[in-house]
């Protein structure tokens, strides 16, 4: 676990004082009402946030929220004694020293190839390009990847899944199995990614893609630039997206402006349900074609590319981000590869993606975080989230006194999905004793 400046007794612990409070067992378990107390917002306010069911019920000055009236409780919660407001079943969690944010989302992952890059796969095992593996092993890897991302704060995740060729639909089936198992912990979207679609060679891809959509894939993906007929690939995708009423999320390098304009033209009628990325080879002026298509762009700040594009990634430069911003394109940021062949040291931390965008000097910390939160959710077709009454209770509490501080090194985190605390990471930093200088256990700038 990453070291942090938060000792164990500073961890956010549930205070079970409600009438229906649970005891023992899961330390994160609580009833249908949750009070997050003393958290700091990005604007500097210290607040209490009360959650009822899967929604934020109220946001008030720290220490100012009273008991929750019975009329505001979820059905069946609490007990009305007739003597006034009830104390709701649930917990109070002290978030003093924590920054409370709308939860980030992961708009571009490759969970089906996660953790395959440390060493060559054994004979018969599935790597990023060939072979197969036992379905149970794939389910376990996808689940581990999703939980890793969740632990960093991503309560919603979109993963691209290769279909066809030797894989058939096995990887997609594994992702859908993991999606079902993760319900209540995180929301997982699957993008079906055929390799080829056009001509005789693409017949299998076309058939598999239709099967994948009937099976439950959420969106159509693919790499048009790797097909012998890139424009034909996109046209087929657009036709199927209209037929199945689903979003499109394509891998594009975007290095050829003329080709980019031809590729994006068939996608115009599908706006705004079009996502393209990582566009890491986008040249000056290339943003005009993306804007004309009404596309949302997802970039991958860790190394530019990912496992969906053959060949080594070329890195992510600030010039590409400036091109996107200059054309006023909505930009989301994802992690991409998670320790697979495309990025053996890849991480699934949205705050790292935001940090890299802000560190490049193009985006402010606030805009960089919005790329992994608000913009990522919009790209995924999810409702917006704000720390305000009436919004979905999708939240991330990260130790720190400002957004810049949190992006620079906030390791201790508490994650809320659908009104429920689903993950907690507690990081501790300690120093050796010294007679020359008395070192405090807690630094002046908590992380």
pLDDT at 274: 95
Whole-angstrom Cα distance, residue 171 to residue 138? 7
Helix (H) or strand (E) holding 337: none
Whole-angstrom Cα distance, residue 276 to residue 254? 9
Whole-angstrom Cα distance, residue 325 to residue 320? 9
The token pair that represents 251 in the structure block: 């891998």
Backbone φ/ψ region at 295: left (φ over 0), alpha (ψ -120 to 50), beta: beta
Whole-angstrom Cα distance, residue 273 to residue 45? 35
| Spatial CA neighbour of 275 closest among 187, 186, 378 | 378
The token pair that represents 261 in the structure block: 């304009």
Dihedral angle over CA of 320, 323, 325, 326, nearest 10: 160
**Angle between helix 257-264 and helix 230-244 axes, rounded to 10 deg:** 30
Q: What is the pLDDT along the chain (447 residues), one digit of tens a residue?
A: 444 444 444 567 666 544 333 333 444 666 678 999 999 999 999 999 999 999 999 999 999 886 666 666 666 655 544 444 444 446 889 999 999 999 999 999 999 999 998 655 444 444 444 456 787 999 999 999 999 999 999 999 999 999 998 889 999 999 999 999 999 999 999 999 999 999 999 999 999 999 999 999 999 999 999 999 999 999 999 999 999 999 999 999 988 989 999 999 999 899 899 999 999 888 888 888 888 888 899 999 988 877 655 566 667 778 889 999 999 999 999 999 899 888 888 899 999 999 999 998 889 999 999 999 999 999 999 999 999 999 999 999 999 999 999 999 889 999 999 999 999 999 888 887 766 666 665 544 545
Q: Is residue 334 within 8 Å of residue 108, measured between CB atoms? A: yes
pLDDT at 3: 44
| Spatial CA neighbour of 35 closest among 9, 63, 8 | 63
Whole-angstrom Cα distance, residue 445 to residue 447? 7
pLDDT at 128: 43
Q: Is residue 192 within 8 Å of residue 163, measured between CB atoms? A: yes
pLDDT at 8: 41
Q: Is residue 100 within 8 Å of residue 36, measured between CB atoms? A: yes
The token pair that represents 344 in the structure block: 């053996």
The token pair that represents 381 in the structure block: 């077709």
Q: Is residue 103 within 8 Å of residue 396, measured between CB atoms? A: yes
Size of the chain in residues: 447
pLDDT at 49: 96
What is the pTM assigned to this prediction? 0.87
DSSP codes of every residue in 100-159: EEEPPEEEEE-GGGTT--SSPPPTT---SSS----HHHHHHHHHHHHHHHHHHT-SEEEE
Q: Is residue 304 within 8 Å of residue 280, measured between CB atoms? A: yes
Whole-angstrom Cα distance, residue 100 to residue 183? 23
Residues 6+ apart with CB under 8 A from 412: 4, 6, 10, 11, 98, 398, 399, 425, 426, 427, 447
Q: Is residue 336 within 8 Å of residue 109, measured between CB atoms? A: yes
pLDDT at 140: 96
Whole-angstrom Cα distance, residue 376 to residue 156? 9
pLDDT at 231: 97
pLDDT at 211: 98
């Amino acid at each position: 676990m990453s070291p942090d400046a938060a000792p164990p007794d500073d961890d956010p612990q549930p205070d079970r004082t409600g009438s229906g409070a649970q005891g023992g067992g899961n330390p994160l378990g609580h009833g249908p009402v949750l009070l997050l107390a003393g958290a700091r917002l990005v604007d500097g306010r210290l607040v209490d946030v009360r959650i009822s069911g899967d929604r934020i019920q109220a946001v008030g000055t720290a220490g100012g929220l009273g008991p929750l009236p019975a009329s505001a409780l979820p059905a069946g919660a609490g007990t009305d004694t007739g003597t006034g407001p009830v104390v709701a079943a649930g917990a109070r969690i002290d978030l003093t020293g924590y920054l409370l944010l709308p939860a980030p989302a992961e708009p571009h992952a490759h969970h089906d190839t996660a953790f395959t890059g440390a060493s060559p796969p054994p004979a018969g095992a599935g790597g990023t390009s060939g072979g197969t593996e036992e379905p149970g092993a794939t389910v376990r890897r996808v689940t581990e990847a999703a939980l890793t991302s969740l632990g960093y704060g991503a309560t919603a995740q979109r993963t691209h899944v290769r279909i066809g060729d030797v894989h058939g639909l096995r990887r997609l089936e594994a992702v859908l199995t993991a999606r079902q198992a993760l319900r209540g912990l995180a929301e997982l979207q699957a993008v079906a990614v055929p390799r080829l679609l056009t001509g005789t060679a693409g017949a299998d891809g076309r058939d598999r893609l239709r099967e994948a959509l009937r099976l439950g894939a959420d969106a159509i993906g693919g790499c048009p630039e790797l097909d012998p007929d890139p424009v034909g690939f996109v046209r087929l995708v657009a036709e199927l997206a209209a037929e199945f009423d689903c979003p499109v999320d394509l891998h594009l390098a975007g290095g050829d402006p003329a080709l980019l304009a031809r590729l994006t033209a068939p996608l115009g009628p599908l706006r705004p349900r079009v996502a393209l990325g990582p566009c890491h080879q986008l040249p000056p002026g290339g943003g005009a074609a993306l804007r004309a298509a009404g596309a949302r762009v997802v970039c991958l700040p860790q190394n530019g590319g990912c496992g969906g594009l053959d060949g080594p990634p070329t890195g992510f430069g600030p010039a590409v981000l400036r091109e996107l911003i200059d054309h006023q394109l909505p930009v989301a940021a994802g992690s991409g590869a998670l320790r697979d062949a495309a990025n053996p040291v890849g991480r699934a931390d949205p705050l790292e993606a935001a940090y890299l965008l802000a560190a490049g000097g193009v985006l402010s910390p606030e805009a960089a975080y919005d790329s992994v939160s608000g913009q990522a959710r919009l790209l995924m077709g999810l409702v917006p989230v704000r720390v305000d009454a009436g919004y979905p209770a999708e939240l991330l509490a990260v130790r720190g006194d400002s957004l810049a501080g949190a992006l620079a090194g906030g390791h201790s985190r508490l994650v809320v999905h659908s009104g429920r605390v689903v993950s907690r990471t507690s990081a501790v930093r300690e120093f050796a004793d010294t007679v020359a200088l008395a070192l405090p256990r807690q630094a002046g700038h908590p992380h």
